[in-house]
Amino acid sequence: MAATTLGGALNRALRDALAEDPSVVVYGEDVGPLGGVFRVTDGLTAEFGEDRCFDSPLAESGIVGTAVGMAMHGLRPVVEMQFDAFALPAFEQVVSHVAKMRNRTRGRVELPLVIRIPYGGGIGAVEHHGDSSEAYYAHTPGLRVVTPATPADAYSLLREAVASPDPVVFLEPKRRYWDRADLDLPVRTEPMDRAVVRRPGTDATLIAYGPMVATALEAAEEARAEGRSLEVVDLRSLAPFDDDTVAASVRRTGRAVVVHEASTFAGYGAEVAARITEQCFHHLEAPVLRVGGLDIPYPPPHLEEYHLPSVDRVLDAVDRLQWEASWVPDVPPPPPRRAAGRAEARS
């Protein structure tokens, strides 16, 4: 085994896909000789040539529109949108053509293409470089939407995405590109449309995906020091949604918190909370809570730590779950935590 970053696992997945299938092509802004802004495609042009991994013009709608034509004629394009918000000029292509072509042709035309999108904040970037637009894509029938949280899943999910006969929006948590794990690649994890329990627990379920899985696991570890047991579920697939794994976890614990970076209002967590309420109503001891980004445009770099969910905000929600479950009239909810306060309490 060797220490592998999430970005390195993605690079290996693309390299293996290119080597095994001559119909796979990789292209996008700066993905050629430069190797991409985050170096995920580093070395691919040198190894496979400019016919297989190449730079595109700075025109996102053109990138995706060209991929539609390529996929219709037998290729398997893997395209990169350099940052999440930069993909929005291609949104019409994605919604009107990528998502609908198979249905429009009654299954006669498949679009086996992957749209890679680095998304989320946490890297000190400016506006348009830290957005989380997953709800737009997950809301669109005809698209698979997946997001890895670990290097192993980065490799396995991307290989499955490239092999899929359906179009896949592959969301890469840019703040986790440098997370490391000991891996023996190639590796295959759970199937692409399944959620997994990353940490078992009994008192409440934290449901997260992509960049927030690590935050949820950190919150669960903090809670363990306080004598509470939190289960962490990594969704992995946003569309389709794995109701079975999520519902089974919430039925065990009786409480749930959904965590994501995107703004909370009408965010992806609202759908998760609704599904849990519908399927687990008689098992719930408290309302399903959401912890997300603030309902504001993405803030300047020096303010993003206040916008993004933190361990403290997740544990605030867990505190409220306990208060809700043992509600007593005229007893106010617990006050917000602060990291320094927790450190003082432990000392």
Which residues does residue 256 pair with via DSSP β-bridges, in sequence order?
205
Q: Residue 147: which of 165, 160, 129 has the closest Cα?
A: 160
- pLDDT of residue 342 exceeding 70, the answer is no
SS3 state of residue 8: helix
Q: Which two tokens stand for residue 103?
A: 């249905």
The full set of domain ranges for the chain reads 2-183, 196-346
- pLDDT-derived band at 313 (thresholds 50, 70, 90) equals very high
Which residues does residue 170 pair with via DSSP β-bridges, in sequence order?
116, 146
Q: Which two tokens stand for residue 242?
A: 């794995």
Q: How far apart are CA 337 and CA 319, in angstroms?
A: 9
Cα 17 off chain centre by? 21
- pLDDT of residue 347 exceeding 80, the answer is no
Q: How far apart are CA 158 and CA 14, in angstroms?
A: 8
SS3 state of residue 105: coil
- pLDDT of residue 10 exceeding 90, the answer is yes
Across the chain, mean pLDDT equals 94
Asked if residue 287 has a cis previous peptide bond (ω within 30° of 0), the answer is no
In this prediction the pTM is 0.94
Mean pLDDT of the 292-321 span:
94
pLDDT of 301 reads 92
- pLDDT-derived band at 345 (thresholds 50, 70, 90) equals very low
Q: Phi, psi at residue 292, to the nearest 5°?
A: -140, -175
- pLDDT of residue 305 exceeding 70, the answer is yes
- pLDDT of residue 344 exceeding 70, the answer is no
- pLDDT of residue 167 exceeding 60, the answer is yes
Q: How far apart are CA 326 and CA 343, in angstroms?
A: 27
Residue 98 vs residues 74, 93, 94, 102: alpha-carbon distances, Å: 15, 6, 5, 8
pLDDT tens, position by position, 243-277: 999 999 999 999 999 999 999 999 999 999 999 99
- The single residue of 129, 260, 282, 307 carrying the catalytic annotation is 129
Q: How far apart are CA 229 and CA 291, in angstroms?
A: 19
pLDDT tens, position by position, 189-239: 999 999 999 999 999 999 999 999 999 999 999 999 999 999 999 999 999
Residue 171 CB-density burial (10 A; 0-12 exposed, 13-18 middle, 19+ buried): buried
Task: Say whether 196-346 and 2-183 share the same fold.
Answer: yes
pLDDT of 339 reads 55
Q: Residue 66: which of 36, 25, 105, 31 has the closest Cα?
A: 25
pLDDT tens, position by position, 214-226: 999 999 999 999 9
- pLDDT-derived band at 341 (thresholds 50, 70, 90) equals very low
- pLDDT-derived band at 337 (thresholds 50, 70, 90) equals confident
* Annotated catalytic residue 283: no
User: Kindly report the CA angle at 59 between 57 and 61, in degrees rounded to 5?
Assistant: 135
Does residue 327 or residue 53 have the better pLDDT? 53
CATH for 196-346 is 3.40.50.920
CB 141 within 8 A of CB 99: yes
| Contacting residues for 73 by C-beta, under 8 A, at least 6 apart | none
- pLDDT-derived band at 155 (thresholds 50, 70, 90) equals very high
pLDDT of 334 reads 87
Exposure string of 203-220, with b = 16+ CB inside 10 Å and e = fewer, is bbbbbbbbbbbbbbbebb
Q: Can you identify the CATH homologous superfamily of domain 2-183?
A: Thiamin diphosphate (ThDP)-binding fold, Pyr/PP domains (3.40.50.970)
Which residues does residue 24 pair with via DSSP β-bridges, in sequence order?
76
Instruction: Show the beta-strand stretches assigned E in 174-218.
Output: 180-183, 196-199, 204-208
Asked if residue 118 has a cis previous peptide bond (ω within 30° of 0), the answer is no
Does residue 218 or residue 329 have the better pLDDT? 218
